[in-house]
Chains A and B, each alone.
Chain A
Amino acid sequence: QQQVKQSPQSLIVQKGGISIINCAYENTAFDYFPWYQQFPGKGPALLIAIRPDVSEKKEGRFTISFNKSAKQFSLHIMDSQPGDSATYFCAASMNYGGATNKLIFGTGTLLAVQP
């Protein structure tokens, strides 16, 4: 029940295209859903995050869509660029007071944007 399932495992997109990565969770106590971007040899960097009280959040070219009833959320990267080539991780945590807020990560999606 603590798992976060992520797909696809890898993704190849043409420059200018839309990249879509999907995640699903089981634990309804999760209330914070961040996406992290990781380049080889680096630590994960927060990209964008959403709370379950909204269905969509947009920051620049990055959008999270959230479906609470289906317990699914996805990352959309519009106008994908070669510099977006990285591994993307979805995660979930319990963010309310008293919780440790430990992050449960998906298995990652390796995105390659071809020029």
Chain B
Amino acid sequence: DTGVSQDPRHKITKRGQNVTFRCDPISEHNRLYWYRQTLGQGPEFLTYFQNEAQLEKSRLLSDRFSAERPKGSFSTLEIQRTEQGDSAMYLCATSDGGAKVVTQYFGPGTRLLVL
């Protein structure tokens, strides 16, 4: 257990519905990342927060996706009007930006299945 928690661990939804995932970081970590992992592939970067500021978004993050990190603590990732292609594991990772080597610690992920 890295100390990064994600909720829910599993989500099944119907196409067209909205879903929201939550990530709680290690308390002293100011950097937070979202990645998406499809079956048989490595995680792909989606977006990055430093404290409450969203500083980078991947082109993978379509306008149906939105992420927030109010007050620089937990983060949420919302997918609107889900599509079957959104089915994947959504991973959150956090790191201490003040460390000499910025190691990312991953949570257990939220597995999304869109029917």
Assess whether A103 is interfacial by the CB under 8 Å rule. Answer: yes
Asked if B41 and A43 sit within 8 Å, CB to CB, the answer is: no
Interface of A, secondary structure class, is loop
Complex: chain B residue closest to A34, CB-CB: B103
Assess whether B72 is interfacial by the CB under 8 Å rule. Answer: no
Asked if B101 and A104 sit within 8 Å, CB to CB, the answer is: no
Assess whether A45 is interfacial by the CB under 8 Å rule. Answer: yes
Asked if B101 and A102 sit within 8 Å, CB to CB, the answer is: no
Chain A residues whose C-beta falls within 8 Å of the C-beta of B91 in the assembled complex: 43-44
Least distance between B10 CB and chain A CB atoms (Å): 9
Asked if B42 and A106 sit within 8 Å, CB to CB, the answer is: yes
Asked if A49 and B107 sit within 8 Å, CB to CB, the answer is: no
Complex: chain A residue closest to B46, CB-CB: A102
Asked if B45 and A103 sit within 8 Å, CB to CB, the answer is: yes
Least distance between B23 CB and chain A CB atoms (Å): 11
Interface size on B, residues (CB 8 A): 27
Asked if B2 and A108 sit within 8 Å, CB to CB, the answer is: no
Interface size on A, residues (CB 8 A): 24
Asked if A105 and B44 sit within 8 Å, CB to CB, the answer is: yes
Assess whether A32 is interfacial by the CB under 8 Å rule. Answer: yes
Asked if B48 and A102 sit within 8 Å, CB to CB, the answer is: yes
Asked if B42 and A32 sit within 8 Å, CB to CB, the answer is: no
Complex: chain B residue closest to A102, CB-CB: B45
Chain A residues whose C-beta falls within 8 Å of the C-beta of B4 in the assembled complex: 43
Residues in chain B within 8 A of chain A (CB atoms)? 2, 4, 31, 33, 35, 40-45, 48, 55-56, 91, 93, 95, 101-109, 111
Q: List 29 A-B contacts (CB under 8 A).
A: A6-B42, A32-B101, A42-B108, A42-B109, A43-B4, A43-B91, A43-B106, A44-B106, A45-B106, A46-B105, A51-B101, A89-B43, A95-B101, A95-B102, A100-B55, A100-B56, A101-B102, A102-B33, A102-B48, A103-B33, A103-B45, A103-B104, A104-B45, A105-B43, A105-B44, A107-B40, A108-B40, A108-B41, A108-B42
Residues in chain A within 8 A of chain B (CB atoms)? 6, 32, 34, 36, 41-46, 49, 51, 89, 91, 95, 100-108
